[in-house]
Structures are given as C-alpha cells and as structure tokens.
C-alpha cells in the first residue's frame, strides 16, 4: 500500500508540473473520468498563476521543458508517446516530437568510477586518454577516448557510460506509469482498446535493453552481419561502427570513433561534395530493407544518430533502441506497401484480416474502401506532398471505427517510419516515398511469395514435419491423458465450493473498489499539491 501511495504522489507531482506548463494528455473530444475532472477544477489556481508563462512561450517549447523538468524517464516517455497519436492525440504528439534527449553531463570522477567498476583495475589500464563528455542524454553520456592495441596501434574510440543510479530511477517511475495505465484500463473503458498497460510494457522493455550496454553491442554486431552483402545494392551504403568487446561491459560500451559530418548539417555535406538525394535514399531504403528482409532494424534513426563519413557512407550510432518483426509482421508491412503503391486495396485490406489486426465481423470490402480513401489521394499528389506520417495518422483514425486493437510489436516500426521519412525528406524534399519504397517491397514479395518463397516454405515445412514426427510419441501420450481428464469432467462436472465462489466475488469487488479509491486519492493528491504551490512562492 505504501508503494501505491508513493506512486500516486509521483503521478500527482508529474500532473502538477504538466498543468503548470499547460500540457494535457487527454485528446480533444475524449471523455475525461470524473475524478480527473475534479483534479482539473482544483488545480485551476495553478492555471491562472502560470498563464503569463503559457502566453509568452510556444506550446511545443513548454511541453519539452515540462518533460525535461520531470527527469530522464519522462523524457523517454515523451519521446515514446510522440509516436502514439492514437493515445494522446495529434497535437500533443506533434509537440513531443520537439523533445530533445539532452541533459547536463555527470562529472568525470563519476565516469572514472563507472569504468573502473565495470572493467576492473584503473582507467589507465584500459584507455590511454579519456576526454570530457561530447554528448549527454537521459540514460548515458559519451566520451572520446584513445586505446593502444597489442601491435602498438593508437586508435580513437567512443566510450558510452550509463548515468549513475539511472536504473533505480527508471524502475521507480515505471512503477508509477503502470499504476496510471492500470487505473486507465479499469475506469475508462474506451482506453482498453489502446492497451495502455501493453504500451508501458513496450517502454519498459526498450529502456531495460538500453540500460545493458552489452545488448547494444550485440545489436551492432548482429546488424553488421546482416548488411555484409548490401554494399552492392542500389540502396547505397550503411556502415556500423566496430565494437571493442574487450572494453565493453554492462555499464560501459566502447566502439570505434567515427569522424563524420552530422547528417543534419546539409551545408557541410554539400561543401564536401556529398549527394544529398542519394543519402536520403540510403537512409529510407536501408531502414525498409532491414525491417522487411531481416526483421531487425535501428528504431532510433533520428538525425542525431546518423553521420556521413568521408567515403559517403551513412554511419548509424546509438543502437540502444532496436525493433524486431516476426514473419507475419514483415509480410504485413510488405503487403501494405505493395498494395497501396499498386492501388490493390482489396489485397491490402485482406492482409489486415489475415494478420488479425481487424476483427472478422467487419466486411473486407468496407475496410478496403477505407484504405482506398487513404491511398487514392496519395497517387494524385506531387512527391513533396506525399507523407508516410500522414498515412499513419489516417490509419490511426480508422482504428476505432474498425475495432482495431493496439499492436505493441508494431509501435517501434510505426515510430521509426515517421522519423526516417523526416530524415530522408530533410535531405531531399522532393523524395517520393512510395517510389523509393517500391523496389524493397517488390524484392521481399519475390523472395517470399514467389517461386523462391515457395521453395523456402517447402524446406521449412519439411523440417517442421521431421520435428513433429520425433515428438509424436510424447504428443500422443499427452493427448491420451487430456482425453481421460475430459471424460472425468464430463462424468462429474466442474465444481466450485461455496467458499471459492465467495472469495472470487469478494476479490472482484475489492479490485473494483480499489480502482475507484486510488483514482480519487490521486485527484486529492494533485489538489493538495496545487494548494501548496498556490500558497507558496511560484
């Protein structure tokens, strides 16, 4: 109970900070639960007191400052929610896209301590030099260092170090996010379709991976293997820095230092003779190929994580957030792109039903009609006007109409598609997203649904048959036991004694009661903090 109360007060403080900056998580038109409406009324004094701040500052800057004030985990939450227009509405999503993950660096003494604890011995045993931080974010900061290999070669490296205590802070805040998500699902029926608890699960999984730098090193190694043969492809060249495994541990990651131009610096890129259009195409097609062919992609491909080296390669850094897609999700992505590009809306609709994204009680023809309403305007517009981000926004708008539930496995994909489009368009505003995507979608379709795909499925099917044959005796024994148990249930029935029924009823009543009580406690906590702030110095 003490933990629940502590989480409620954390949520209350966060709500108060957001209220001071005029940030609302509830999209326009969505019905707000009574307890939250009461909290809004009682925090009205804060709204009045902070009106000059809101009037003088653009909304997106206020939103970014509010999340930065709340700390590292809220910065990550804000960046994550920027991809979820279906949850927080388009206005707040657009504002959160301006949120930058930049914090003040922690001292060099802390960096030294972290390296020595992670790698053992003294810092000088591992690095000849370690410079001051060159970048500091919510989870880690990066230093430039120098190492000397066994053959005497002097080599520059990038050293990434986790922030002291960051794991404990994230665990604490994630507990409060789970509380908010469970309350939302319990008292606001309309939100259940959006699966807020599953959204927090996804955020938790991604941040846990980010806070084990060995996993980031493994992701870099895996992607480097995946792209070995890509240098001859028309998509251009993407390069992955080499990992220094001898100097990598859970809280320290060492990779080769990249001397490159930030991909956002168009003036320097042009001055050095780089082809901006080719770079934009490389970014877009590399992402699509990794997602569809490999099912493994860099899920944080914003401009700050992309450099261009002297050879004209796009070099990706910061592999803390990665996305994975199973075979079904890859087919879904390829079929959707192929269907919309070729105006085959019936096929694009059918793959939604095949994947289970649209419930079967809806007619395929009606959903195909909705996709046509999205796809046809694309084909009548110029390249500069076609936006994958707009397409996703329109698809989100239809999720409620067709009872489509949130698919957590596609969240990173949706987010990265929007970000990659922005990066590619910043390099080439005339880039036609659909024309660029078509060869990748066609390549996947030919490899997986053409003759080669049939042979591949046949080989995999033969392997599965062999495994099934080896497991057949155990499966038959399990089936015999199951049939025996079902026969016994048919004869004697399934019974619950009165004590079990009473306990079940009491537990359900307790859960319903606790949900209402917790929500009102949160409202009262926000109100108490509002009163204290209104009476104290602003």
Residues carrying an active site annotation: 300
CA distance 208 to 395: 30
**CB-side exposure of 170: number of CA atoms within 13 Å?**
24
* Length of the chain counted residue by residue: 538
Residues 6+ apart with CB under 8 A from 470: none
- Residue 160's φ and ψ, nearest 5 degrees, are -105, 130
CA distance 119 to 130: 15
**CA distance from start to end of the chain:** 32
Handedness of CA 263, 266, 272, 277 (dihedral sign): positive
**Tokens 């490296």 — which residue?**
157
CA distance 15 to 23: 9
CA distance 251 to 532: 40
CA distance 263 to 302: 9
> SS in 3 state form for 442-504?
HHHHHHHHCHHHHHHHHHHHHHHHHHHHHHHHHHHHHHHHHHHHHHHHHHHCCCCCHHHHHHH
């Amino acid at each position: 109970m003490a933990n629940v109360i502590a989480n409620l007060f954390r949520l209350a403080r966060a709500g108060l900070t957001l209220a001071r900056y005029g940030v609302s998580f509830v999209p326009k038109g969505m019905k707000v639960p009574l307890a939250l409406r009461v909290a809004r009324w009682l925090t009205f004094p804060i709204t009045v007191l902070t009106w000059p701040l809101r009037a003088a500052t653009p909304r997106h800057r206020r939103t970014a400052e509010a999340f930065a004030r709340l700390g590292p985990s809220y910065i990550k939450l804000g960046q994550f929610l920027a991809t979820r227009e279906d949850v927080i509405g388009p206005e707040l999503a657009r504002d959160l896209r301006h949120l930058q993950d930049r914090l003040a660096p922690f001292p060099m003494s802390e960096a030294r301590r972290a390296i020595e604890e992670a790698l053992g011995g003294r810092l000088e045993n591992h690095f000849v030099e370690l410079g001051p931080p060159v970048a500091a974010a919510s989870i880690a900061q990066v230093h430039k260092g120098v190492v000397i290999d066994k053959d005497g070669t002097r080599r520059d490296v990038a050293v990434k170090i986790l922030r002291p205590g960051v794991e404990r802070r994230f665990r604490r805040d994630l507990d409060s996010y789970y509380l908010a998500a469970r309350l939302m699902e319990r008292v606001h029926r309309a939100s259940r379709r959006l699966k807020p608890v599953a959204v927090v699960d996804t955020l938790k999984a991604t941040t846990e991976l980010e806070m084990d730098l060995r996993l980031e090193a493994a992701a870099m190694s895996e992607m480097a293997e995946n792209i070995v043969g890509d240098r001859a492809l028309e998509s251009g060249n993407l390069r992955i820095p080499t990992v220094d495994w001898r100097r990598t541990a859970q809280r320290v990651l060492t990779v080769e230092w990249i001397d490159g131009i930030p991909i956002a610096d168009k003036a320097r890129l042009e001055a050095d003779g780089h082809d901006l259009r080719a770079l934009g195409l490389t970014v877009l097609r590399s992402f699509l190929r990794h997602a569809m062919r490999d099912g493994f992609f860099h899920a944080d491909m914003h401009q700050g994580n992309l450099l261009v080296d002297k050879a004209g390669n796009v070099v990706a850094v910061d592999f803390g957030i990665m996305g994975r897609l199973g075979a079904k999700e890859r087919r879904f992505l390829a079929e959707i792109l192929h269907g919309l590009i070729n105006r085959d809306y019936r096929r694009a609709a059918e793959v939604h039903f095949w994947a289970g994204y649209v419930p079967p009680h809806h007619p395929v023809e009606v959903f195909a009609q909705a996709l046509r309403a999205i796809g046809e305007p694309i084909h009548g517009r110029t390249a500069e006007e076609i936006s994958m981000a707009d397409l996703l926004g329109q698809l989100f708008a239809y999720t409620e109409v067709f009872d489509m539930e949130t698919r957590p496995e596609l969240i990173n994909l949706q987010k990265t598609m929007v970000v990659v489009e922005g990066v590619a368009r910043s390099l080439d505003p005339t880039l036609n997203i659909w024309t660029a995507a078509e060869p990748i979608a066609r390549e996947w379709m030919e490899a997986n649904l053409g003759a080669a795909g049939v042979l591949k499925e046949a080989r995999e099917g033969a392997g599965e048959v062999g495994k099934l044959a080896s497991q057949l005796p155990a499966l038959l024994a399990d089936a015999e036991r199951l049939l025996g148990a079902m026969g016994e249930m048919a004869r004697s029935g399934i019974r619950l004694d009165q004590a079990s029924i009473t306990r079940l009823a009491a537990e359900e009543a307790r859960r319903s009661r606790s949900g209402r009580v917790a929500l009102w406690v949160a409202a009262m906590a926000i109100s108490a903090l509002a009163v204290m702030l209104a009476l104290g110095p602003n």
